[in-house]
Copies of this chain bind each other. A is one copy, B any other.
């Protein structure tokens, strides 16, 4: 059982993971060469792999690190005030506007694409991350249904899945359209379009009271 006091070894281990994370996220598992990992960490092979059972374990921990950074950027401010719909819009805006501290795009998409021909350990991490992420969004939708802000007939899972799919696909297109030197601050049409579309979808199809002419009028219960 680990103690909360970090030993020198576990500190080194954390530093290696942090240095290796951008390499794996940008280059993928196979593309992350030993020489690149050595250059990033400033350690020799023995110095790196003293702390890990092998490349697969290092890559899995690097994924967790990269995912934690992406998740924090996307979920920023979501525990604060605001209605459920506002929180979903905040999430969408976070995704469209903020890049994670670890470069290379979304680790879930990268790992999904990279690990779909094998590497079950990495694949399982990406699956778990996606599940957690969808679960957070579903919870917000359900809270909105309970508080009467979101229509009771809305399928929380479908809303969460659609938001993530639209944003992930738009991110891929934005990144592909960018010039290589492009980082933050570049024009990203696909992400802007996805944000506009999803906000409209939330107002019209998810939120209560925004579609007075829909034929189905649901009064807001005071729960």
Within residues 158 to 192 of chain A, which ones have a CB less than 8 A from any CB in chain B?
A: 158, 161-162, 164-170, 172-173, 175-177, 180, 189-190
* CA–CA, A110 and B197, complex, Å: 25
Which residues in window 61-108 of A have CB below 8 A to B? Answer: 104-105, 108
In contact, B28 and A176 (Cβ under 8 angstroms) = no
The quantity of this chain's copies bound in the complex is 2
**Whole-angstrom distance between the Cβ of A129 and the nearest chain B Cβ:** 10
Q: Chain B residues with Cβ under 8 A from A172's Cβ?
A: 109, 112-113, 165, 168-169, 172
Contact B112 A176 (CB under 8 A): yes
Contact status A27-B26, CB under 8 Å: no
Determine the chain B residues whose CB is within 8 A of the CB of A27 once the complex forms: 30, 117
What count of chain A residues pass the 8 Å CB interface test?
A: 46
A153 at the interface (CB under 8 A from B): no
Query: Is the pair B31, A162 in contact by a Cβ cutoff of 8 Å?
Result: no
Contact of A169 among B157, B167, B175 (CB under 8 A): B167
- A116 touching B164 in the complex, CB below 8 Å, given contacts A28-B28, A28-B30, A158-B193: no
How does the 8 Å CB contact mask read for A134-168 relative to B, with 1 for contact and 0 for none? 00000000000000000000000110011011111
* Additional A-B contacts beyond A127-B177, A161-B170, A166-B166 (11; CB < 8 A): A28-B30, A28-B114, A109-B172, A113-B114, A120-B180, A123-B176, A161-B173, A161-B190, A165-B170, A165-B190, A168-B173
A-B contact pairs, 7 of them (CB 8 A): A109-B113, A116-B175, A162-B166, A165-B170, A168-B173, A169-B170, A213-B213
